[in-house]
A and B are shown apart, each in its own frame.
Chain A
Amino acid sequence: MEKYKIKNIAGHLAKAFLSNPLTMILAVAILGLGYISLEVMPREEDPQIQVSGGSVIVAIPGATPQEITNVIIKPLERRIREIKGVEHVYGTAMNNVGMINVQYLIGQNREESNLKLYDKVMQNMDQLPTGTMPPLIKPFDIDIDIPILTVAFYKLEDHHDMDTISLYKTIREIQQNINALENVSKTTLKGVKRPQFNVLVDLDKLSAFHISLGQVAQAIKSISGNAPMIDTPTPEGKLVVFGMRNAIDDIDDLKDLIIAQYMDSPIYLKSIASIEYSYDIQKYDSSQIVYQKGFEDKVHKYHEHHEGAEHNKIEFRDAGDQITMTVSKLKGTNAVIIAQKAIEELNRSKEELRKHGVGFIVTRNYGIRANEAVNELVHHLVLTIAIIALILVPFLGWRESLVVTIAVPMILATTLFLAMITDQTINRITLFAFLLSLGLIVDDAIIVIENIHRRLHMPDAKDKTFNEIIIEATDEIGPSTNIATIAIMLTMIPMAFVGGMMGQFMKPIPLNVPVALGVSLFVAYVFAPYLARKLIKYEKAGEHH
């Protein structure tokens, strides 16, 4: 019997690892790394699309849209078109304000694009017409602009003394705490009403007392100045510190302000205007919340409440004004963990808030959504592997099918680990890429195992050792398996060059499927023969029949 000559890399790999004790360690290490990657990698629902852009806002008080178009928008548009990588320039000319929105081609580097835009506007500052306010450049930043968590705070039903301003003050403390959490980039409050003294002047009384509105404004302005502390030394060289207190200390000081003299009697501010300490009435934006009773705690008791709600009649509560706190995360961090920590922080202050008469509802949680999406798909993945394993049993026998079933997680683990070290996130599309590649990657292992299986039952099997048969079987299908796998890898690669939003969105598929396929070849040649040797019972075919 002449010695079989190994022709293909498949055979070499199989031979090198077949009886090497390190193979086992390598296998365990790969599975471990894969599991760690699955836990550690940042999770998202959808992959992030690199959208770069920004707006330039230029104000000229008193200018009409037509004027703004001619003096601001048109010249600025032309300048911005000079920037490389700009896809669209949108100009909006309103009364008093001109705005230019710049949209870069999808996939342009965000930091660079922002810099280019800033640079271009700064270079052309000298061309702005007189009377223009300094331009405001606001780049888009998806990570910071799109909050992963929003929480609505509202007044509880039985606390009527809680007003919008004390709501704001209570929440401001919590905002500070949440902003201090690790990897939280920005928190904002929406629907906030800030405290303010409102002096609402009665026009009829003004005319009656012969006072002009300008006088009122002047009078208030003149007594509300703040001066720094003054110090002066005593002869002994000690310092005496003194200073002017703000003349207005509370609302009564304002009320008793003398505006003018009329017929020898002073006119107080309170006699021509109503003065109140309330919120900034000039800002018209506000936000309200309405919630269905029984769903306040949906974060924790989602399902039970839902079951219960089916029987009761639908009852909503108008909770009136609310303040929404938004929480954004830093780029590349794990939304799941951040959202969870923020909610823990909120729950810690829950009792405290309740005492103040404040309730809250989590109105958006991308962390949970991402986690659910990822977990659901991981579940699908496991289920699919199990189904494939089961279906292989009648065709190959359960030991052979076990080999394939062990090979698949190893391939996925390696791919996942490679994805982690190349800074990808784990999202729906990544997992779909895995589901898609599942059918492809089991193939290599199936072919190797099937060939080993076939060779074991061939008449010449009895002349060879088990190891020889395995190596030969692997080597035999090497060339065609290689070429077929490379062919599939080649079909997926051009997809990486698909442009636009959709191309970015689908990117995890061309990134991960070819990698998974390449790994599947390696696993099929290294671990499948090894596992076959360990798992498959070898009976000399001749003796058996």
Chain B
Amino acid sequence: MEKLILSILKNPRKKLFVILIVLASMGGAVMMIPTKLVLAKMLPGKSANTYTIYIDTATNASIEETQKVTTCVVERLKKEKEITDMEVYLGQGAPLDYAGLVKGSALKSLKNQAEIVINLTDKHHRDEPSYMLVHRLRPEIQKGCGSLTPNTSIRFTEMPSGPPTLATIVVELYAKSDKLLRRASVQVSDILGQTEGLVDIDIMNDDLYTKYDILPDKEKVIRSGLGVDQVNQIIYLAFQGMPVAVKNTQNQQDQVPIFVRLNNETRTVAFDSKEALEVKLSSLRLMNQMGMMVPLSEVMILKESESSPTIYRKNLKKMVTVTAECDMVSQVYPLLEARDRMINQLSVDYEVRKVEGINTYMFDLELKDKKTGEELLVRWDGEMKVSLDTFRDLGGAFIAALVLMFLLMVVYYKSFALSGIVLAGSFLSIIGVIVGHWVTDKIQLYFTETNFFLTATSLIGFISLMGISARSSLLLIDFSRSLISEKGMEKKAAIAHATATRAKPIMLTAVAIILGSLLLATDPIFGGLGIALIFGSMAATLVSLFFIPVLMDNTKAMLPDDYCFDEDMPAKSTWCTLTENIGELFYLRRKEECE
């Protein structure tokens, strides 16, 4: 070991070779991310014991229609032996969970809404992870049950492995005009539908349907001795019904309401048409002040009109949301693909402009209608935004960590060059992190056909790795320095000797970390962290044992302050000429001195 290091240090060509290898692998590893050899994602999916199916039928659907869909879904799921029980919640949300909290499950109270909670057998005793189950059942159920009633959306909600979001992909459309919003939202959802890997596409907007307005003829109402109030009440009582009184029973200490409504046979209207409704209303009669019966149709006019859909706003602007889920793929790539498609396809109708600047809204698009000149903003939110925010913050944390560490080193060594070496050494563990992900991805693809992603936890692993590899470099530098100053060893020999002696604890640490992370690597969420630590510390060990000595040899700061250059001229020239990278950058004053 000692000889090997010494031979490298003594031969400038070998040194150059080591530096080149390191730089090349560094460049190669970093390039793996843009070339999609390693895929990035915020958090991977995790197998759970439960999932929820959200069902939304058309806005004007009846509870019976919604029930038809839920029954269909339940019937199809009865074939699955891994399902222990299913709870259907019609016209309401299921008991709230973290996902439901963000997805607005608590606010569900309409006839067209339903949720089905599916409980599965324990994940440890089940071969098929829940996300595979969903992946398999989704197309079958959507195809089989989605067409039962018009405008039905069936969405599968898995337990999020990290913090929940409204949906994996959320496209927010902002514009002033309802018509433009409605048209654009359909276009956007079509584009998302064409994109591979995106499923459960849903436009959060009410469907338009025909409704009927009753216009009371004021003059006739007054002349026939009725009140508009009375008309309103009776119509409501007849068709919706209401409790008119409560009673306390003797044997049961409950207030029991008495509810009045027309019976089901006479309440129903034959068809969804104006005429049928008119016929029904004419048979309903009101009693006026004089005790005479007046048919309702006498005092009112029926008009067809368009339904008034719910208006959604976010941060004071009118908005329509289109959501989509990713089916076992990272959200990054489908999003970019869909965005490219949008730029292409929407430029037929709109002038498309990308939003400038780099921030976490950098994928947004600004559209301008070519005909009307109305403007529309397409904003990407959801998991992508959270990921970008997280990666940005973690990146910031990483830079802060670098700066803090550098400052600490500078205080400790009083030398920029040595601090630079420590920093460079710790930064290089990224080679291991990225290559490790690539290797794991390939292995996992081979066995389970699912990708292994570079996730936020990988980044956390990388940050903690920096500290670990800094420690190795530090020990090396300290030991070599004390060898030079206390034992008076020659620099190259001292470095080689120090590396050889310190190799054992450095490798021991690495082995401890690798073994410690093995179980971590099998976890779905923290797998990235585990892989980052395992491969990163391998890389860090190699870097500390071969690259750091080379760098150390290239700086003069290794020598103690009172080590004077006059006693060793040839060595000095080597130092001075070979202080390439870091020494040259940071240590100008010392260099002048030495020349």
Interface on A for B, CB 8 Å cutoff? Answer: 46, 49, 51, 55, 64-66, 68-69, 73-74, 77-78, 81, 88-95, 99, 140, 142, 145-147, 150, 152, 190-191, 195-204, 206-207, 210, 212-217, 220-221, 224, 226, 246, 248-250, 254, 273-274, 277, 280-282, 284-292, 295, 298, 302-303, 306, 309-310, 314, 316, 322, 324, 326, 361, 363-364, 369, 380, 383-384, 387-388, 391-392, 395-396, 428, 432, 435-436, 438-440, 442-443, 446-447, 450, 479-480, 483-495, 497-506, 509, 513
Contact = CB atoms under 8 A, between A and B. Distances in A.
Contacts of B245: 220-221, 224
B305 to A, nearest CB: 10
A84 to B, nearest CB: 15
Interface in B369-400: 386, 389-390, 393-394, 396-398, 400
Contacts of A483: 408-409, 412, 474
Nearest to B160: A46
A196 B252 CA distance: 12
B79 A502 contact: no
A492 B261 contact: no
A306 B249 CA distance: 48
B520 interface: yes
Choose among B258, B314, B408, B511 the residue with the greatest number of A CB atoms under 10 Å from its CB.
B258
16 contacts: A64-B308, A195-B254, A202-B262, A202-B263, A216-B260, A249-B247, A290-B78, A387-B516, A442-B509, A446-B505, A446-B509, A450-B505, A450-B508, A483-B474, A488-B464, A497-B397
Given A93-B312, A220-B260, 7 more contacts: A203-B263, A249-B250, A287-B92, A388-B515, A486-B408, A491-B463, A498-B390
B515 A391 contact: yes
B313 A499 contact: no
Interface string B402-426: 0011001100100000000000000
B273 interface: no
Contacts of A221: 244-245
A216 to B, nearest CB: 6
Nearest to B106: A145
B346 interface: no
B38 to A, nearest CB: 20
Interface stretch (B19-27, B115-123, B331-339, B487-495): B115-123
Contacts of B258: 196-197, 199, 220, 224, 248, 254
A210 to B, nearest CB: 6
B151 interface: no
A77 to B, nearest CB: 5
A498 B396 CA distance: 8
B287 A214 contact: yes
A447 B56 CA distance: 62
A250 B90 contact: no
A213 B242 CA distance: 12
A55 B479 CA distance: 63
Given A91-B313, A210-B293, A450-B508, A200 B264 contact: yes
B526 interface: yes
A436 B533 CA distance: 9
Interface string B241-279: 111111111101010111111111111000000000000
B133 interface: no
A186 B40 CA distance: 41
A314 B80 contact: yes
B513 to A, nearest CB: 3
A355 B296 CA distance: 53
A286 B88 CA distance: 8
Contacts of B408: 483, 486-487, 490
Contact of A487 (B163, B250, B470): B470
Contacts of B308: 64-66, 95
Contacts of B475: 447, 480, 484
B266 A203 contact: yes
A46 B287 CA distance: 63
Given A395-B504, A436-B520, A89 B249 contact: no
Given A246-B247, A487-B409, A500-B386, A292 B85 contact: yes
A197 B247 contact: yes
A440 B234 CA distance: 76
B285 interface: yes
Contact of B265 (A69, A202, A505): A202
Nearest to B481: A480
Contacts of A363: 85, 87, 117, 119
Contact of B478 (A91, A391, A480, A502): A480
A290 B85 contact: yes
Contacts of A288: 87-88, 90
Interface in B68-118: 74, 78-81, 83-92, 95-98, 101, 106-107, 109, 111, 117
Contacts of A147: 95-96
Given A93-B310, A202-B265, A303-B122, A439 B513 contact: yes
B564 interface: no
Contacts of B256: 195-197, 277
Interface in B458-483: 460-461, 463-464, 466-468, 470-471, 474-475, 478-479
Contact of A479 (B164, B249, B463, B478): B478
Contacts of A51: 101
Interface string B224-242: 0000001001100110111
B266 A65 contact: no
Given A93-B310, A288-B88, A502 B390 contact: yes
Given A221-B245, A316-B78, A284 B91 contact: yes
Interface in B425-480: 456, 460-461, 463-464, 466-468, 470-471, 474-475, 478-479
Contact of B86 (A92, A280, A291): A291
Nearest to B319: A90
Nearest 5 Cβ contacts at the A-B interface: A488-B467, A439-B513, A501-B163, A91-B313, A203-B266
